[in-house]
Amino acid sequence: MGKIVKSTKEMVYDDENYVVTANSIIRGKQSMSLQTARLIRLLITQIAREDKELGMYKCRITDLAKYLGIPSQNLYRDIDAITDEAMQSVVYIGTGDLHDAWKKIHWISTAEYDGNGTIILQLSQEVKSFVVELDKYFTQYKYKNILFLKSFYAIRLYELIVCEDGEKNSSKNRNNRLEQRSVTFSVSELREWLGCEDKLSSFGNLKKKAIEPQIAEINKKTDIYIEPVYHKTGRSVTSVEFIIKPNANVINGADMINDYANVLQIEAHNRACDEEDKIIIQKMTDDEIQQRIEDMLNPK
């Protein structure tokens, strides 16, 4: 094997970076392991807003494994298996009706090991239009929201809810996370987008293995708090509505300051947060800001 080429960039491990993708690829049918999903999304966070082409990124295998939570035992074997799956993974973009237009694309085109502990990775050119120079119809979220989720279904459910929320509720000022919102998916949509049509055929299994545990984890580890409402047609559940609230247990620091500024605006009938307000906010502790947000969300 040759040496890693000099045009590659160093992988950046920053869970504050954003995963930014076109809505159509989020709604695409996907199926992969948890670690492969983490890896692909980590690669997407490397893309800068000004980038016009997909880059090639290099990293030490030990650093990558540590960041993704891959056990040190059998490290090289596991990385080899994950990159194999990443290169073989396909996202299906279409309506689900095989008579309609559809497209299948691979996520990763390059995975190369130099024999000295460094690996080079690159997203496929097929993915480029879904992750580069996006100006509309895209979804973004901080990588930290999915980094510690323990199942692929949890990552996908979080992405789908954030995507649908952004499209449906964008006119309702989604930037104000104090606002309660909701999105609804049909059961058939959930099965397709989670990639489990053949695995979880009954709704009971779908709810038990791909909805309820994932909701509990999302509520514990991400910036949103969701509550499901199951809607029936006759005796069968045919759609799931997700009530979305800000997760006051996770939001902190600068994010909470911004949210408290929103509280002031709401209480003052949309009055802008002035400099005096900001000084007051900055003197408050995170616990005080969080308590104020919770009081606003749950008035007595």
Q: What digits encode the pLDDT tens for the residues 150-206?
A: 999 999 999 999 999 988 876 554 445 557 899 999 999 999 999 888 888 889 999
Higher pLDDT, 262 or 155: 155
**C-alpha 74: how far from chain center:** 28
Higher pLDDT, 2 or 212: 212
Check if the beta carbon of residue 155 is closer than 8 Å to that of residue 164: no
Q: Which two tokens stand for residue 270?
A: 């949309």
Range among 91-100, 122-131, 164-173, 283-292 with highest mean pLDDT value: 122-131
Q: Could you tell me where the DSSP H helices lie in 185-246?
A: 187-194, 203-206, 212-221
Q: What does 91-102 look like in DSSP terms, one character per residue?
A: EEEE-S-TTS-E
Rounded CA-CA distance 148/146 in Å is 6
Q: Give the per-residue pLDDT at 199.
A: 85
CATH number of the domain at 9-147, please?
A: 1.10.10.10
152-246 placed in CATH 1.10.10.10: yes
Q: What pTM was computed for the model? A: 0.80
Weakest mean pLDDT among 116-120, 187-191, 264-268 = 264-268
**C-alpha 96: how far from chain center:** 22
